[in-house]
Amino acid sequence: MTERKRASPFRTAMRRLLHHRLFILGCVLFGIVLFVAIAAPLIARVDPNKLAMRAKFRPPGADFIFGTDNFGRSLWSRVVWGARLSVLIGGAVVAINAVLGTAIGAAAGYFRHLDNGLMRINDALMAFPAVLLAIAVTAVLGPSVNDVIIALAIVYTPRTARIVRSSVIVLREMEYVQAARAAGAGHWRILRHHILPNAMAPLIVQLSFLFAYAVLTEATLSFLGVGAVPPTPTWGNIMAEGRQYMTDAPWIITIPGAALMITVLGLNLLGDGLRDVLDPRLRIQQ
Amino acid sequence: MGAILVRRLAGAVPILLIVSLITFGMIHLIPGDPAVAIAGMSATAEQVANIRRDLGLDQPLLSQLFDWYANLLRGDLGRSLLLGQPVVQATMLRLPVTLALSAYALVLTLLIGLVSGVIAALRQNTWIDQVAMVLAMLGISLPSFYIGLLMIILFAVDLRWLPTGGYVAFTADPIGWLATSTMPAVSLALLLAGLLARITRSTMLEVLRQDYIRTARAKGLPNRTVVVKHALANALIPIVTVVGIIVSLLISGSVVVETLFSIPGIGQLLTQAVLNRDYPMVQGGLLITTALLVLVNIGVDVCYAMLDPRVRYDRT
């Protein structure tokens, strides 16, 4: 009797993702932003902070593709380098969340005696309105890119930890985990080989949305003047500076705003696609 | 119902205790000497010493913690360094502004989100559904301050229909309030309406597949009755739980919108406090806002229990 070879779950997921049109659109949009961020030194050679007072308020055109701002700085350079900062901050927050959120969530979900204490602190951090907590943390730490990353990690890690904990609590009681325990496997081995690989799907989905939240919140902090200090070319900073000139030079606001929207839209579409394929329980029905 | 309320209030106590502990600890996490950070680089040694004494920073940490909780129980969260008035008073003066704006935005969110979500579900896989979901996706991808800026350019600068900013209290002039609050409320509501529309559509589709809907249709009930009395009434129950999240997002969103439109609410108060290193105001404002949100969430949970008998019967 011949047994049909079963496709690996990874290949099945990849095949379904490649047929998900909105996921592909999300990949394309975010791929463009990622490319721009990585290639910034090559595609925007002009220093984003280089002043050229004679060229201020130039509208988008042949000389300056995105125009210039109130100090004659090239908006193309500033938006491109802004993409680099957004991707850097979003990526760093996601990386910290992936490590810390998984560690806290796994510890709370797996070790029952830790659950109550860890989750009460988690709940308390989640009770704060996200932007207000981020503002308060940057007020304490100071306004720099690194401090914004720490602030956003503090705000969003509890949300990731909760999702990992939910998965771990269910997986902990599975028969195959109990079998591994009966066979003498240690806690670390059970967590690493049997529980965490199966808790990855909701985590990956959460992290893709988290990237979008981090980029949005960072832009909000910069816009309010409590993020990275000007003239750091974050999209929020560019828009905050452009606010005073929005009647005469609206491109200073509309272009970085559009870049921000494309990034967040791409990440949201990507997250939707990942959720539909990897975590179908949460699917927005098609 | 009373039991659920008591249980939820009891559950909120440890959370509020930790929240207050975190807010207390904030000032001590400032790198270096907090008194120097508050006073600023140009302050004299005497000014720094005054701030240290006024804020009790010269006391041992445990004594400061004891004083913090003793004052908290008396409703005293210290004085704002910037405004010179008690933090509680400053917050309470601004609270009605933020609440009025949030309530307006919540009404818009519910109207736009629920209606478009229900229509998208009823017209599943048609162009109406697709347009509604594309708009919802755009809504959740647009930052509220960007929508606000675009609206200012269009409606205030170009068309001159609405003022660019400022605030008029509803009690003083309802029309003026509507004029000054509409753009901020819409820019807050669009993001949340997108979120709500997606959830409403999903929940409605789930409910429309249930056997009791098929039974209602088989009985020959008119479509409107099936949709409104059978489907929507049940779909609304899980949606109620989202309202707590929406209120939290509204408060978060109001920070940036109030600053953008120069609205004197809590969001603007806290942003100014952060920019001016007014830490007692930051601590107090954050604590009061979070405590209010915890109470809102308890209210939402109780409403959920009232609407869904399964929650009531599941209390053991």
Average pLDDT, chain A: 90
Is there a domain that residue B218 lies in?
Answer: yes
CB contact under 8 A, A246 and B294: no
CB contact under 8 A, B31 and A253: no
Rounded to the nearest angstrom, the minimum Cα separation between A5 and chain B is: 35
pLDDT in tens, B122-152: 998 899 999 999 999 999 999 999 999 999 9
Count of domains observed in chain B: 1
Would you give per-residue pLDDT tens digits along chain B (316 residues)?
A: 778 888 888 889 999 999 999 999 988 888 878 888 888 778 888 888 888 888 888 888 899 999 999 999 999 998 998 888 999 999 999 999 999 999 999 999 999 999 999 999 999 889 999 999 999 999 999 999 999 999 999 999 999 999 999 999 999 999 999 999 999 999 999 999 999 999 999 889 988 888 999 999 999 999 889 988 888 888 888 788 888 888 888 988 888 999 999 999 999 999 999 888 888 999 999 999 999 999 988 888 888 888 777 766 554 4
Residues of B in contact with A25 (CB under 8 A): none
Is there a domain that residue B32 lies in?
Answer: no
Closest CA to A17 of A201, A193, A199, A163: A201
CB contact under 8 A, B255 and A130: no
Best mutation target, B145, B195, B282, to test chain A (most A CBs within 10 A): B145
* B172: Cα separation from own chain's centroid: 24
Is there a domain that residue B42 lies in?
Answer: no
Is there a domain that residue B43 lies in?
Answer: no
Domain of B132, in residue numbers: 87-275
From CA B212, how far away is CA B229, in angstroms rounded? 12
Q: Which domains occur in chain A, in start order?
A: 81-278 (1.10.3720.10)
Angle at B116 between CA B111 and CA B119, to 5 degrees: 125
The pTM for the full model equals 0.89
Is there a domain that residue B303 lies in?
Answer: no
Residues of A in contact with B286 (CB under 8 A): 128, 132-133, 136
Closest CA to B57 of B37, B79, B35, B26: B35
Residues of A in contact with B253 (CB under 8 A): 131
Closest CA to B167 of B288, B257, B282: B257
Rounded to the nearest angstrom, the minimum Cα separation between B105 and chain A is: 17
Q: Find, in chain B, the residue whose alpha carbon is nearest to that of A116.
A: B14
Q: What is the CATH number of the domain that holds B182?
A: 1.10.3720.10
- pLDDT for A282: 54
Residues of A in contact with B16 (CB under 8 A): 124
Question: Would you call A144 an interface residue with chain B, using a CB distance cutoff of 8 Å?
Answer: no
Is there a domain that residue B37 lies in?
Answer: no
Axis crossing angle, helix A200-224 with helix A130-141, rounded to the nearest 10: 60
pLDDT in tens, B44-87: 888 888 888 888 888 888 999 999 999 999 999 989 988 889 99
Residue type, B230: H
CB contact under 8 A, B30 and A253: no
Question: Would you call A86 an interface residue with chain B, using a CB distance cutoff of 8 Å?
Answer: no
Question: Would you call A25 an interface residue with chain B, using a CB distance cutoff of 8 Å?
Answer: no
Residue type, A236: G
Q: A159: which 2 tokens?
A: 């949300």
Q: Find, in chain A, the residue whose alpha carbon is nearest to that of B268.
A: A224
- pLDDT for A281: 60
- pLDDT for B227: 87
Is there a domain that residue B97 lies in?
Answer: yes
- pLDDT for B316: 43
Residues of B in contact with A132 (CB under 8 A): 251-252, 255, 270, 285-286, 289-290
Residues of B in contact with A224 (CB under 8 A): 255-256, 259, 271
- pLDDT for A1: 47
Residues of B in contact with A129 (CB under 8 A): 248-249, 251-252, 255, 289-290, 293
Cβ proximity of A225 and A136 under 8 Å: no
Question: Would you call A97 an interface residue with chain B, using a CB distance cutoff of 8 Å?
Answer: no
Cβ proximity of A253 and A239 under 8 Å: yes
Residues of A in contact with B282 (CB under 8 A): 136, 139
From CA A254, how far away is CA A256, in angstroms rounded? 6
From CA B100, how far away is CA B185, in angstroms rounded? 10
pLDDT along chain A (286 residues), means of 10: 64 86 93 96 91 89 90 94 96 96 95 91 91 89 90 95 93 92 92 91 90 95 90 93 91 95 94 83 52
Best mutation target, A22, A116, A135, to test chain B (most B CBs within 10 A): A135
CB contact under 8 A, A129 and B141: no
CB contact under 8 A, A261 and B282: no
- pLDDT for B101: 94
Is there a domain that residue B231 lies in?
Answer: yes
CB contact under 8 A, B146 and A212: no
Rounded to the nearest angstrom, the minimum Cα separation between B81 and chain A is: 15
From CA B269, how far away is CA B83, in angstroms rounded? 10
CB contact under 8 A, B152 and A260: no
From CA A158, how far away is CA A164, in angstroms rounded? 10
CB contact under 8 A, B290 and A264: no
CB contact under 8 A, A132 and B286: yes
Residue A155 phi, psi (nearest 5): -70, -45
From CA A24, how far away is CA B307, in angstroms rounded? 40
